[in-house]
Amino acid sequence: MLHYTRGQCRKKKKLQGFCFFYYLLNMAAPLVVRRELFSLVKILGGISQLGPRGLGACSNHRKCSQTRFELLQRPNTFFHTAAYLSSTPFTITVTDEPDTLFQKVVVLVKAHDRAVLDSYEFFATMAAKELGITMGKVFEPPKDIERLTLLKSVHIYKKHRVQYEMRTHYRSIELLHVTGCTAQVYLEYIQRNLPEGVAMEVTKTAMEKIPDHILEPMWKDHPIDDKSSK
Amino acid sequence: MASFGSKVFLSLGRTNVSGVGFKKTGNRATYATALTVNSSSTNKARGGKGSTGRRPKRGPGEPRTEKMALDQDWTSVYPAATPFRANAVPLPLRMGYPVKRGIPPEKKGNLELIKIPNFLHLTPAAIRKHCEALKPFCTEWPSALDTDAKCDELFPVKIQSTDYVSAGPSIRNPSARVVHMKVKLSSLNLDDHARKKMLKLVGDRYCKDSDILTIKTESCPLRQQNYDYAMYLLTVLYHESWKIEPWEAEKTRADMEEYSWEDSTSQKNILDTLLRINATGEGEEAEVREQLLGREEVLEYKDSVETLKNEEPSESNMLRYKEAVRKVLKV
C-alpha cells in the first residue's frame, strides 16, 4: 500500500480522471462522444467553418457565392489515432448567399522590431500572390517613438533622470478587389501566423448597392399628408 | 515516494500527449528533459544512493543538423511556429553584440535567437503548400467589375470598418464598433430641392470637392447595430429631403445656398444705371429693361458677378469683373 501525502492525492485523482476520459472515448456511447468529437475536431481542424455574413445582407444579389465547408462524422474508434485527421475528406459546399465585395482591404501591422516586419511583409505579399489577390501599395509609414523621462532614483536626486523610449514600426499592405470569402481565408491565414509581439489593424471597405427603399421617395405613392414615417 | 509519484505523473503526461496525437515533437523533448533533470536531482538528494540501480545517463549525442540531407523537406522539420532550436537549424548563424572586439556569439545556447520570433516555418515552400490547400476556399472577383468607376456606378455605398488584432488580457477592442458609411450624392435619386435640403440636413458630413456624404456611427455597442443605424439614417435623410414642408415656402434670399443674379440688388442697380444713362424715354420701362437684359455686356456682367459671389475671390475673377463693368458702362 503506497503512502500518499496530500500532494500526491491530487495527482492520483488526475490519473483516475485521465483513465475515465480514455475509457469514455473508447466506449460506444454515441451521443456524448459525438458531441465531444465534433467540438474537439472543431478545435483541431485547421480551417474553421466558413460562413461570412457580410455587413448586413442587404439586397445584394451577386453572382458570386459563398463556400462553406462541412466535416464528415467519423466513428469514434479512430479518434485517438492520427489516422483520423489525415484521412478525412473535407467537402466544400457552395451556397447561394451573396458574397461581400471589398473594394479595399488595408492591413496595418505594428511591431517594435523592423526586421520582423520585413519578414512578415515578405510572407504576406507572397501569400497574396499565391492566392491570386491583386495588391495595391505596400509601404512603410514612418515610425513612432514614445519617450519617457523618469527619475533615476527612488528618493530625491531630481537632477538625475533616466530616459526610455518605445519605438513602433509600421507596415501597410493594401489589397484591392477582394471577395468576402477570399478576404476571410487570407486574413485568417495571415493572423494565425502573426508573430508574437506584433499587432494588426485591418480596415475593410465593403461596397454595396443602394438599398431598395432608397431608390424612390415614398411620398410619390403616398401623398404628403400621410405623415407615417418609415 | 515523491519521486515515484512525480515520475508517474510525467510519464502519464507523455502518454496523454501521444494519445491525442497532435502535439509537436518539441513538447516531447521538454518532457524528456524534465524527466532526466528530475532523476538527476533525486540522485543528488539521495547522495548517490540510487546511482547503482539507475541506468547510465545518455549524452546529448550529435546534433540533428549532421543527419539532415541537403534535399530534405524543410516544411516537416518546422511545420508550425516553434522557438529556434540550434541543433535543428543547419545554418551557421551568429547573433549578438561582439564584446571586446570579438565576434557575435554562436547559435548554440544563444538566447537572442530564441527570443526573436522566427519565420522558419514560413519558408516559400511552406507558403506555397499552405496556399495550395487554401485555394479551394477562395472565390474569384467578378470580372465585370475591373475598374473603380464601374464599381462606384453599380455599388455606390461604401462601408468602412476596422478590425484589431493584438495580444493582451482581452481580444476585444472598443474601437472595432465604429462604422463609416460613404455615399456619393450623385448616385442617389435626388432632385434639386431634395439635394439642397439634404445638404442642409447633413451639414459638415458632406464634402463638396468629392461629392461624398460620410456618416460615422459609433453610438451603438456592436458593429452590426452601428451599420443598421447608418442605413436607417441614410433612409430617413433621403425621404425627409424629398418631403416639402409648408414652412419651406418662407425661404428667403439669405437662406439660399448659391447667389443668383436674377431679381437681385445688383441687377436692379445695373438696370437703373443704364436707364439713366440712356434716358430717352422711349417705350415702357419694362420693355426697355428686357431689352437691356438681353444685351451681351449685361450678360457678361451677370456672369462675372455670379462667379465672384459663388466662388473664392481671386485675381482672375476680379479682373473679369472689372472688364465687364467697363464694357457695360462704356468706359
Return the C-alpha cell found at B30: 521538454
Burial class (CB in 10 A: 0-12, 13-18, 19+), A59: exposed
Is B266 an 8 Å CB contact of chain A? no
Interface of B with A in 161-180 (CB under 8 A): 161-167, 179
Q: Are A174 and A105 in contact (CB under 8 A)?
A: yes
> Searching chain B, which residue's CA lies closest to the CA of residue A200?
B165
A134-139 and A91-95 strand pairing: unpaired
Q: Which chain A residues contact residue B143 at CB under 8 A?
A: none
SS3 (DSSP) at B254:
helix
3-state secondary structure of B261: coil
Amino acid at position B118, single letter: N
A172: cell is: 501597410
B119–A123: do the CB atoms touch at under 8 Å? yes
Architecture of domain A101-210: 2-Layer Sandwich (3.30)
Question: Which chain B residue is nearest to residue A120, measuring alpha carbons?
Answer: B119
Cα A181 from Cα A93, distance rounded (Å): 13
The answer on pLDDT for A7 being more than 70 is: no
Residues 142 to 181 of A: which have CB under 8 A from any B CB? Answer: 177-181
Answer whether A3 sits within 8 Å of B1, measured CB to CB: yes
Q: CA of A204: how far to CAs of A55, A87, B154, B194, B317, in Å? A: 11, 36, 19, 31, 43
**How close A113 gets to chain B, by Cα (Å)?**
9
Please report the pLDDT score of residue B114 as a whole number. 93
Write the CA distances from A68 to A48, A179, B135, integer angstroms.
10, 14, 13
The one-letter amino acid code at A40 reads L
Whole-structure pTM value: 0.68
Alpha helices in B82-222 (DSSP H): 111-115, 124-134, 148-154, 192-202
Which positions in chain A touch B122 (Cβ < 8 Å)?
119, 123, 193
Q: Is A41 on the interface with B (CB under 8 A)?
A: no
Mutation pick from A214, A216, A220 vs chain B, by most beta carbons of B within 10 Å, is A214
Give B194's contacts in chain A (Cβ within 8 Å).
217
Q: Do A218 and B164 touch (CB under 8 A)?
A: no
The dihedral of CA B90, B92, B94, B100: what is its sign?
positive
pLDDT at A87: 54
Cell numbers for A34: 459525438
Chain B residue whose CA is closest to A129: B131
Q: With contacts defined as CB-CB under 8 Å, which chain A residues touch B189?
A: 214-217
Indicate the DSSP class of residue A73. Answer: P
Q: Among residues A78, A187, A179, which one has the least CA distance to residue B139?
A: A179
Chain A within 8 Å of B222 (Cβ-Cβ)? no
On chain A, the residues whose CB falls within 8 A of the CB of B139 are 64-67, 99, 179-182
Grid coordinates representing B58?
545518455
Which amino acid appears at position B108 of this protein?
Answer: K
Nearest C-alpha neighbor of B305 from the set B251, B268, B254: B268
Q: Which helix (H) or strand (E) holds B10?
A: helix B2-20
The B residues from 54 to 113 touching A (CB cutoff 8 Å) are: 81
Single-letter amino acid code for the residue at B163: D
The cell for B316 is 482672375
R_g (Cα) of chain A, nearest Å: 28
The 10s digit of each residue's pLDDT in A89-123 is 667 888 888 888 999 999 999 999 999 999 999 99
pLDDT digits (tens, 9 = 90+) for A210-225: 888 888 887 776 655 4
Taking the Cβ of residue B11 and every Cβ of chain A, the question of whether any pair is shorter than 8 Å is answered with no
What number of residues does chain B have? 331
SS3 of residue B173 by DSSP: coil
Residues of chain B with C-beta less than 8 angstroms from the C-beta of A65: 139
C-alpha cell read off for A19? 483513465
- Show pLDDT as tens, one digit a residue, over chain B (331 residues): 444 444 444 444 444 444 444 444 444 444 444 444 444 454 455 555 555 667 888 888 888 888 888 888 999 999 999 999 998 999 999 999 998 889 999 998 899 999 999 999 999 999 999 999 999 999 989 888 888 888 888 899 999 999 999 888 998 999 999 999 999 998 888 888 889 999 999 989 999 899 999 999 999 999 999 999 999 999 999 999 988 889 888 888 888 888 887 778 888 888 778 777 776 656 666 777 777 777 788 888 888 888 888 888 889 889 988 888 888 877 7
Q: Is residue A114 less than 8 Å (CB to CB) from chain B?
A: no
Q: Please report, for chain A, the start and end positions of each structural domain, with discontinuous segments joined by +.
A: 101-210
Q: Is the Cβ pair A85, B16 closer than 8 Å?
A: no
Q: Residue A94: how many CB atoms within 10 A of its CB? A: 12
Of residues B148, B155, B242, nearest to A219 (C-beta): B242
pLDDT at A208 over 60: yes
| E strand map for B136-282 | 157-165, 179-184, 206-207, 212-217
Residue A106's H or E segment, with its range, is strand A101-111
- Taking one residue from A and the other from B, the number of pairs with CB-CB distance under 8 angstroms is 209
From chain A, the residues in CB contact with B146 under 8 A are 177
Phi-psi region of B100 (alpha: psi -120 to 50; beta: other; left: phi over 0): left
Q: Is the dihedral of CA A52, A54, A59, A61 positive or negative?
A: negative
| pLDDT at A194 (0 to 100) | 93
Mean pLDDT to the nearest integer, A177-188 = 93
